[in-house]
Amino acid sequence: MNDRLIVIGGSSGSLDPVMKILGLLRPGFSIPIIIIMHRGADSDDSLAQVLQSRTKLVVKDAEEKESTRPGFVYTAPADYHVLVENDHSLSLDVSEKVNYSRPSIDVTFESAALVYREKLTCIILSGANADGASASAYAEEMGANIIVQDPVTAGVSFMPERALAVLKNANVLGVEKIAEWLNGL
């Protein structure tokens, strides 16, 4: 089992920072990463393909009951929430939208925080929605590290700002610094 997990959440304006961060991770980076990006319910799995072009890590849509593995990046499938189980496997869920979103960042942050606690890193990127703020505060309470993209550098600053309004000890970083921080884990 992996003892750490990284969950990245973003909405509009987050594709570019996600691609940059993945591209800047050091070779052999082994902590599993889950990416929750808001996308249309009918979109296919091209997000994983787009991200794959930027990294040597393996990028794929999360499958239900799939164990998280070192060196893998999991994208939330369109129209499904992604949850983390005690045995570090992933579950999918089509329950109600949260913050008008499915996948919802809050849902994944919260369930990951319950399992990983201080071994979890949550990252909030650009977005025009408050999703992720509430559960990042909960994850912080559970001991997780929270990184928020510096709103000044975000394409849409609303999501990082909403998170910062409820967080106590967030690391506010630009995109390059986020990658640097992760490389130091």
Partner 1 sequence: MTGNFRLEQEELEELLNLLVEKYGYDFTLYSRASLYRRIMSAAVRGKFSDFTSLKLRLVTDPAYFYNFVEEITVNVTEMFRDPQFYKMLREKIIPILATYPLIRIWHAGCSTGEEVYSMAILLKEAGLLHKSILYATDLNQSVIESARSGIFNIGTMQRNSENYIASGGKADFSTYYRANYNLVKFDESLSARMVFSMHNLVSDASFNEFQLIMCRNVLIYFEKPLQSKVLELFDKSMDTLGFLALGSKESLKFSTIAHLYSAVDAKEKIWRRKK
Report, as residue numbers or ranges, the catalytic residues. 11, 38, 131
φ, ψ at 10 (rounded to 5°): -160, 165
CA distances from 101 to 10, 60, 93, 116 (A): 11, 20, 13, 23
- CB nearer partner 1, residue 38 or residue 102: 102
| β-pair partners for 72 | 58
DSSP 78: T
Nearest Cα to Cα of residue 90 among 116, 67, 60, 58: 67
Residue 94 makes contact with partner 1 by CB under 8 A? yes
- At closest approach, how far in Å is the CB of 129 from partner 1? 17
Which is it for strands 81-84 and 58-61: parallel, antiparallel or unpaired? Answer: unpaired
Q: Is 180 in the site for partner 1 (CB under 8 A)?
A: no
User: Rule CB under 8 A: is residue 33 a binding residue for partner 1?
Assistant: no
Residue 77 binding partner 1, by CB under 8 A = yes
Q: Which of 114, 128, 161, 177 binds partner 1 (CB under 8 A)?
A: 114
Task: Work out which of 8, 24, 107, 179 binds partner 1, going by CB under 8 A.
Answer: 107
Smallest distance, partner 1 to C-beta of residue 99, A: 12
**DSSP 3-state helix, strand, coil percentages of the chain (rounded to 5)?**
35, 25, 40
Residues that bind partner 1 (CB under 8 A): 63-65, 77, 80-81, 83-86, 91-96, 107, 110-111, 114-115, 134-135, 137-138, 141
